[in-house]
Copies of this chain bind each other. A is one copy, B any other.
Amino acid sequence: MQIYAELLTIGDELLYGQTLDTNTHWMSGQLDQLGIKVIRKTTVGDVREEMLQAFKEAEERAHITLITGGLGPTNDDLTKPLLAEFFDSEMAMHPEAQEEVSRYFKSRGREVTGLNLLQAELPIKCTKISNHNGTAPGMWFERNGRVFVSMPGVPHEMRLMMQETVLPKLQQKFALPVIVHRMIKTAGIGESFLAEIIKTWEDQLPAHIKLAYLPSPAQVKLRLTATGEDKTLLTTAIDAEVEKLLPLAHPYVFGFDEDTLESIIGKLLMEKDLTLATAESCTGGNIAHLITSVPGASAYYQGSIVAYQNEVKVRMLNVNQATLDAHGAVSEQTIIEMAEGVRKTLNTDIGIATSGIAGPSGGTEEKPVGTVWIALSDGEQTITKKYLMGKNRDWNIKLSSFSALNLLQRYLNGTWK
């Protein structure tokens, strides 16, 4: 039987755009790995009627309701009294919780105040969940086989409670299915074009394997989800589908699961024992930033010359002034000299370069905003690509960076065309 969960988040600050909720994202991933299906997430403010209504709806729909927030010691925090009301339960001081709150304060060299001791008062119908990263205990309620859990909204308090107590208890209580996920990561092709070239494969997927398209800037992720009872069988089935997919989606697939373009490039450069340098104009250092966001990038990355002026291109990258005069900075001739120049100057195997008009101004009829040249030089050849992107500066910078990384990835994988 499929077990359903709902996530309920309490707090005005989440409705007014002041706090970004990252809790439910993490909780979803944890529940998903246990085979528990999250069917709804709801956020309501610190308002009595809204909260009681949300409790009621969640209990009707889901086997498991996980609540975060509204557990602080101040008056505007309503979760505990309203859960007591919802489960028709008296409140009482919980001696073990009281001991834990006192210990928490002592361990930090502080005296516990009356307001904080009140946090140890709990509805008598709940089972206390210890909070080893803070003072507000969690609460576990059961009624008619359904589970309600209340946890603090502070991320590291909630996470530890989930890991120590809530997830293990859920696994004990419910007979959970087995779920296997596989993420296939593609770049350089839009969602609809990808859907067309893999349509025959998608149509033949067995009923217990579902496909989802997850588009993000310049990438489309394909997520396969297999549900059943036997992990080995599911893994075999999903592997077989990936094997069938690859010939169709090749050369757009660059990795799986946690891979990113920059992590894959790092792996390939290390495997092939190659070094890299970049020369950036329109991307303004963003490619360097992406490459160096990977731990250990210093093993293959020398650095970047961010040449935001023509004189820097001439002096640091040895671009010919004559080339700039004749063709301009945003041209195939210049981008070739930039890629070769940085490779030689920083003494690496591969040089990557970008030059373009990110906008919003600087465009001409011949070279409108969004015109971007990218090049890769390895000393034997220089590959160049021209793009016409949009009018949005941030987007052009991001897309140019991804395109350059993807060219490098395909060059290293031998799949560029």
Pick the contact of A108: B21, B32, B388 (CB < 8 A).
B388
**A305-B305 contact given A212-B13, A395-B156, CB 8 Å threshold:** yes
| Given A16-B29, A214-B18, A361-B295, A193:B113 Cβ within 8 A | yes
Residues of B within 8 A of A392 (CB): 133, 156
Query: Quick one: which of A27, A42, A50 has the most chain B CB within 10 A?
Result: A42
The complex places the Cα of A40 from the Cα of B31 at a distance, in Å, of 23
**A284 interface hit (Cβ, 8 Å):** yes
| CB closest chain-B residue, reference A16 | B32
Known contacts A39-B50, A196-B113; decide if A284 and B297 are in contact (CB<8 Å): yes
B306 touches A304 (CB 8 A): yes
Q: In the complex, are the beta carbons of B306 and A285 less than 8 A apart?
A: yes
User: Does A291 touch B at the CB level, under 8 Å?
Assistant: yes
**Interface hits, A369-414 → B, CB 8 Å:** 388-390, 392-395, 397
Q: Is the CB of B285 within 8 A of A393?
A: no
Our pick among B41, B54, B221, B287 for the contact of A43 (Cβ within 8 Å) is B41
Residues of chain B within 8 A of A309, CB atoms compared? 298, 302-303
Among the 9-residue stretches A68-76, A139-147, A233-241, the one with 4 or more Cβ atoms under 8 Å from chain B is A68-76
Chain B positions within 8 Å of A349 at CB level = none
Q: Which residues of B contact A172 (CB under 8 A)?
A: none
Contacts of A15 in B (CB 8 A): 28, 37-41
Closest to A292 in B: B284
Shortest CB-to-CB span from A226 to chain B, Å, is: 13
Are A29 and B42 also in contact (CB < 8 A) when A72-B191, A73-B191, A74-B192 are?
no
**Counting CB contacts under 8 A, is A247 at the interface?**
no
Question: Which chain B residue lies CB-closest to A46?
Answer: B212
Q: Within A7-38, which residues are at the interface with B (CB < 8 Å)?
A: 12-22, 24-32, 37-38
Give chain A interface residues in 35-92, CB to chain B under 8 Å: 37-45, 47, 50, 54, 72-74, 76
If A15-B28, A28-B16, A192-B113 touch, does A394 touch B293 (CB 8 Å cutoff)? Answer: yes
Question: What is the chain B residue whose CB lies nearest that of A38?
Answer: B15
* A18 near B212: Cβ-Cβ < 8 Å: yes
Can you give 18 contacting A-B residue pairs, CB < 8 Å?
Answer: A14-B41, A16-B38, A19-B214, A40-B42, A74-B195, A76-B212, A107-B390, A116-B192, A284-B291, A284-B297, A285-B285, A298-B309, A301-B308, A302-B311, A302-B312, A303-B305, A303-B307, A316-B316
| In the A-B complex, the 9 residue pairs with the closest CB atoms | A285-B288, A17-B29, A284-B292, A17-B28, A285-B285, A304-B306, A41-B43, A285-B289, A15-B38
